[in-house]
């Protein structure tokens, strides 16, 4: 698990993440919010379903899932992704030029918390 508590991401910022997906990954998640119980974006590629699940969390309660079958991840690969924070949504640019958008449901204009969990090892990130 990789966690940052003082990210200081604001509307208009782009977060670039580079890393390696483990050979035995079932899934991984990248989470952005104020704390682990309040997430503006939960980005969760799941290998067993070949789907990307996006969601948000408010006071520890998950909200409605958004499922996208734009799955372009493979186990053991090194990938680069960018997450752009806009006033109304997050735009996640994926490998192979694909992208996923997810609404900024909480209307956050600043993100301080980030975590990466599961079968993904961050090698570099830049805000």
Question: Is the Cβ–Cβ distance between 64 and 7 less than 8 Å?
Answer: no
| Alpha-helical runs (H) found in 1-127 | none
Question: Is the Cβ–Cβ distance between 38 and 106 less than 8 Å?
Answer: yes
The radius of gyration of the chain from alpha carbons, rounded to an integer in Å, stands at: 13
What tokens does 23 get? 């050979």
Q: Can you give the pLDDT of all 127 residues of the chain as single tens digits?
A: 899 999 999 999 999 999 999 999 999 999 999 999 999 999 999 999 999 999 999 999 999 999 999 899 999 999 999 999 999 999 999 988 999 999 999 999 999 999 999 999 999 999 9
Name the pTM for this structure. 0.96
Residue 112: per-residue pLDDT: 98
Q: How far is CA 18 from the centre of its chain?
A: 12
Domains of the chain, start order: 2-126 (2.60.120.200)
């Amino acid at each position: 698990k990789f966690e940052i508590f003082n990210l200081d991401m604001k509307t208009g910022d782009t977060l670039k993440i580079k890393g390696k997906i483990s050979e035995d990954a079932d899934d991984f998640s990248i989470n952005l919010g104020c704390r682990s119980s309040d997430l503006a974006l939960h980005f969760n590629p799941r290998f067993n379903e070949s789907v990307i699940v996006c969601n948000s969390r408010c006071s520890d309660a998950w909200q409605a899932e958004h499922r996208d079958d734009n799955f372009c991840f493979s186990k053991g690969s090194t990938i680069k992704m960018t997450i752009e924070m806009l006033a109304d949504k997050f735009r996640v640019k994926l490998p192979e030029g694909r992208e996923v958008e997810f609404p900024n449901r909480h209307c956050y204009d600043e993100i301080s918390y980030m975590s990466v969990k599961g079968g993904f090892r961050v090698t570099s990130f830049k805000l």
